[in-house]
Structure 1
Amino acid sequence: MDQKQLQALVEQISIRVFGKPFRHTAFFNPRLRTTGGRYMLQTHNIELNKKHYEQFGEEELIAIIKHELCHYHLHLEGKGYRHRDRDFRELLQKVGAPRYCRPLARNTKAPKTIYTYICTSCGLTYRRKRRINIDRYVCGRCRSKLKLS
């Protein structure tokens, strides 16, 4: 979905669901990471997260657009547009928009490598997240050399 298709979709949903036109810009913001979209109070534009569209499809995108259009129309009418306001919650329920979007699958990081060093003399073990130079460091108990295991 490109910019023109997204703009047309938002305008169509606004007319069909709310009965009011959307006269500003809707676009995908690649910097959004955790939120599905956001309504900008100063410019009245709507920014959407393309990752939600790619991961969950057009149905989820439409739900997010409805949510953001609730913010948009209530703000322009001078009513309560914040999540905690009664006007907002009632309009969400009326149009069937979700209060929150589905969470994206997280990119799980690879588990950190734990380095284990063993004293060659007394056998004391040291566990470290960072690798150390065993030529420079010795056992704290007996001052013997360390060995990476």
Structure 2
Amino acid sequence: MNEGNLQKLVEEISIEFFNRPFKHKAIYNNRLRTTGGRYLLHSHHIEINPKQVIHFGYVGLVGIIKHELCHYHLHLEKKGYKHRDRDFKELMQKVGAPRYCDMVPGMRRETSVKHTYKCTKCKLIYERKRKVDISKFVCGKCRGKLKKI
């Protein structure tokens, strides 16, 4: 499916499920890795991950488009367009949009744990993204010394 067909599909889904036109661009973005698509707040365009279309087909694509159109229409109406907002959750349920897309095979998310520490007293394990200064910080449970493992 080329970008012309993608644009047409987004416009059709917008009219069918939201009863409002989509007046901006829908394009593919090959650089998207961990997401199926994204709505751009400043330009109001929607970007779709073409790898999602390849692996999950038309049904997956329609789900991603519905999700991004929820962001689009709510943002333009000046309502809650973020994932945590009630307006967003209600509209997604109304149109049958998925909350998350499936992961593309072979594209795994990197683990964010880079530093692991262990309390010398109670043996509690701490996993952290950032390095901890073990000369300043102690175990939150027993106040024992921490050791990098």
TM-score by length of 2: 0.71
Gaps of 5+ in 2: 109-149
Corresponding residue for 1:22? 22
Aligned-partner SS, 2:41: coil
Runs of 4+ off more than 3 Å: none
Which residue type is aligned with residue 84 of structure 2? R
Which residue type is aligned with residue 73 of structure 2? H
For residues 100 and 89 of structure 2, the distance between their equivalents in structure 1, rounded to whole angstroms, comes to 11
Please give the residue correspondences for 1:34-113 in structure 2 after superposition, counting only pairs within 5 Å.
34-106=34-106
Among all aligned residue pairs of Structure 1 and Structure 2, give the percentage whose two residues are the same amino acid.
Answer: 62
- Tell me how far 1:107 sits from its aligned partner: 5.2
For residues 44 and 61 of structure 1, the distance between their equivalents in structure 2, rounded to whole angstroms, comes to 19
- Tell me how far 1:104 sits from its aligned partner: 1.1
Q: Does the C-alpha gap of structure 1 residues 5 and 78 become closer, same or farther in structure 2, counting only changes over 3 Å?
A: same
Aligned-partner SS, 1:57: helix
TM-score by length of 1: 0.71
For residues 88 and 62 of structure 1, the distance between their equivalents in structure 2, rounded to whole angstroms, comes to 17
Corresponding residue for 1:10? 10
State the number of aligned residues.
Answer: 108
For residues 5 and 107 of structure 1, the distance between their equivalents in structure 2, rounded to whole angstroms, comes to 26
Which residue type is aligned with residue 13 of structure 2? I
Gaps of 5+ in 1: 109-149
Q: Does the C-alpha gap of structure 1 residues 107 and 33 become closer, same or farther in structure 2, counting only changes over 3 Å?
A: closer
> RMSD of the alignment, in Å?
1.0
Task: Using the TM superposition, name which of 21-30 and 98-107 deviates more.
Answer: 98-107
Q: Does the C-alpha gap of structure 1 residues 86 and 106 become closer, same or farther in structure 2, counting only changes over 3 Å?
A: same
For residues 57 and 3 of structure 2, the distance between their equivalents in structure 1, rounded to whole angstroms, comes to 16
